[in-house]
Amino acid sequence: MYGNRNASGGGTRPAGGSTPTADGTARQHRRKITAPALQARKGGQPIAMVTAYDYTMARLMDRAGVDILLVGDSLGMVVQGRSSTIPVTLEEACYHTRAVARGAEYAHVVGDMPFMSFQVSATQAVQSAGKLVKDGMAESVKLEGGEDVAEHVSRIVRAGIPVMGHVGLTPQSVHALGGYRVQGKGQSAAERIVADAIALEQAGAYAIVLEAMPPDAAAEVTEAVSVPTIGIGAGAGCDGQVLVCYDMLGMTVGHNPKFAKHFAEVGDQIHTAVQDYVREVRDGSFPGPEHCYRTNESRSEKKKLAVV
Ligand code: KIV
């Protein structure tokens, strides 16, 4: 399903090679990951993408080796506490993408195009994508939709901006879809997603997100296009995976989607840490002497002792 993992252009080694160190471990020389490098990973080493919305999280994820940091419009829900992604503005997307870009030394930074920042016309789409790159420091943009937005994708690509597509469950269309429902169930529904993905590929998209569909539908799409597919709730048959950072770290507030594996329980750790902090502040055990600056007096005392 992934094709030949050792085929040229794919390969299983991270970009940049490695040098053996004295203790026998290999130190990776990482290079900044680009859209063409990601496109070349079709059928090769699976792509690991996560969302990030701020500098600190971006830096942690980047150092841990992710390939792509997506500044998703999911920020409307997980950062702003809204009930959908629809109210997110282009300015807000730029603000968060800039913060993430500052923390991304190696990972490729994708800025998500908010609802109504690209649907109106191809010209509007190019202008909004340009703003995400110029003001937001994005290295490529992602937008939701298939055949309907193919012309917009093509115009953005012709303006020199790489585009990642997004098909299946497209949360900006929640009202039209009748809720956050799994897509591509049944052959004709799967075929519609395949047609959307092919239209995006033909328009010049360098990768395509497949959201919330049965694994066989995602595998069918992956087979049908020559650019990498990146799945979320779409099974293992994609060329990569993406998760919302708060979901994978166990910090989700409210409903935890079935596909969102917790790789840690950071939410519980934060809860315990903050409880400990509150207790120590209240009982006076924090701050201790080791958390305090020395006075001039104690420094001159130290000097005197050194002379003796
Ligand atoms: O906005 C987002 O976080 C996304 C991912 C879930 C793919 O679009």
Judge if 208 and 179 occupy the same domain. Answer: yes
For residue 73, the ligand 1 atom closest to its alpha carbon is: 1
Report pLDDT for 67. Answer: 98
Residue type, 122: A
3-state secondary structure of 52: coil
Q: Would residue 3 count as lying in a domain?
A: no
297 is catalytic: no
Residue type, 305: L
Judge if 208 and 118 occupy the same domain. Answer: yes
Sign, CA dihedral 95-263-27-67, equals negative
CB atoms within 10 A of CB 186: 10
Which of 47, 50, 51, 57 has most ligand 1 atoms within 8 Å of CB, for mutation? 51
Judge if 196 and 294 occupy the same domain. Answer: no
Report pLDDT for 30. Answer: 86
Any idea what the CATH number is for the domain that residue 230 is in?
Answer: 3.20.20.60
* Residue nearest atom 8 of ligand 1, based on CA coordinates: 72
pTM: 0.89
Judge if 275 and 247 occupy the same domain. Answer: no
Q: Would residue 250 count as lying in a domain?
A: yes
Judge if 295 and 154 occupy the same domain. Answer: no
**What is the chain's length?**
308
How many angstroms separate the CA atoms of 280 and 104, rounded?
Answer: 36
Number of H helices, E strands in the chain: 12, 10
229 lines ligand 1 (CB under 6 A): no
How many angstroms separate the CA atoms of 191 and 255, rounded?
Answer: 30
Domain boundary among 244, 264, 284: 264
Q: Would residue 4 count as lying in a domain?
A: no
Q: Would residue 57 count as lying in a domain?
A: yes
- The answer to whether residues 117 and 12 touch, using CB atoms and an 8 Å cutoff, is no
Catalytic hit among 92, 139, 211, 220: 211
Judge if 160 and 222 occupy the same domain. Answer: yes
How many angstroms separate the CA atoms of 286 and 303, rounded?
Answer: 28
Q: Would residue 6 count as lying in a domain?
A: no
* Residue nearest atom 3 of ligand 1, based on CA coordinates: 72
Judge if 280 and 194 occupy the same domain. Answer: no
Report pLDDT for 11. Answer: 36
Sign, CA dihedral 276-282-283-286, equals positive
Report pLDDT for 13. Answer: 39
Report pLDDT for 270. Answer: 98
Judge if 280 and 156 occupy the same domain. Answer: no
Report pLDDT for 6. Answer: 30
Range of the domain at 275: 270-307
For residue 85, the ligand 1 atom closest to its alpha carbon is: 1
Q: Would residue 11 count as lying in a domain?
A: no
How many angstroms separate the CA atoms of 38 and 9, rounded?
Answer: 10
73 lines ligand 1 (CB under 6 A): yes
Residues of the chain with pLDDT under 50: 1-16, 25
Of 256, 260, 198, the C-alpha closest to 229 is 198
241 forms beta bridges with: 48, 231
Judge if 199 and 91 occupy the same domain. Answer: yes
71 lines ligand 1 (CB under 6 A): no
Q: Would residue 130 count as lying in a domain?
A: yes
3-state secondary structure of 26: strand
Sign, CA dihedral 287-290-295-297, equals positive
User: Tens of pLDDT along 124-154?
Assistant: 999 999 999 999 999 999 999 999 999 999 9
232 lines ligand 1 (CB under 6 A): yes
144 lines ligand 1 (CB under 6 A): no
- The answer to whether residues 200 and 170 touch, using CB atoms and an 8 Å cutoff, is no
User: Tens of pLDDT along 194-218?
Assistant: 999 999 999 999 999 999 999 999 9
- The answer to whether residues 218 and 210 touch, using CB atoms and an 8 Å cutoff, is yes
* Residue nearest atom 1 of ligand 1, based on CA coordinates: 72
Report pLDDT for 18. Answer: 53
Judge if 181 and 112 occupy the same domain. Answer: yes
* Burial readout 227-253 (b: 16 or more C-beta within 10 A, e: otherwise): bbbbbbbbbebbbbbbbbbbbbbbbbe
Report pLDDT for 227. Answer: 98
* Residue nearest atom 5 of ligand 1, based on CA coordinates: 72
Judge if 42 and 148 occupy the same domain. Answer: yes
Q: Would residue 212 count as lying in a domain?
A: yes
132 lines ligand 1 (CB under 6 A): no
Q: How many domains does the chain have?
A: 2
Judge if 61 and 166 occupy the same domain. Answer: yes
210 lines ligand 1 (CB under 6 A): no
